[in-house]
Homo-oligomer: A and B are copies of this chain.
Amino acid sequence: MQRVFEALSSPVRRKILAYLAHADLTAGEIAAKFEISKPAVSQHLSVLEVAGLVTSEKKGQYVHYSLAPDQLTNTLNGYVQEVCPVAKPLKRESAALAKARANKPDDAGL
């Protein structure tokens, strides 16, 4: 949770996630999209991986990175639910969400 929000606080890291949302990429392909050095990108990728937002798989000499969408959506949605409970729900979508939540016993309390 802390690691996720910390990871998302960097524009570069959010941009990396956006790239990975469209396609898996190698570390080098990601680095090529930024002005900063490769080691700097590697560090960002490490932060994202520790936060569980991306996964990596080594294939030969390349390391392929993938988005871990569940970790992202679960954390953010869960947080929104926690801070903006039922009182003032999300918006339109909240109706469906609240219904879904009513079905299973709540263990979301941080």
Contacts and interface: CB of A to CB of B under 8 A. Distances in A.
Interface of A: 2, 5-6, 8-9, 11, 14, 17-18, 21, 67, 69-70, 72-74, 76-77, 79-80, 82-85, 87-93, 95-97, 99-101, 108
A109 to B, nearest CB: 11
A90 B73 contact: yes
How many copies of the shown chain assemble into the complex?
2
26 contacts: A5-B5, A9-B9, A14-B79, A18-B82, A21-B83, A21-B85, A69-B83, A69-B84, A69-B87, A69-B88, A70-B88, A72-B80, A72-B83, A74-B91, A76-B76, A76-B79, A76-B80, A77-B77, A77-B80, A93-B97, A93-B101, A93-B108, A95-B100, A96-B97, A96-B100, A97-B97
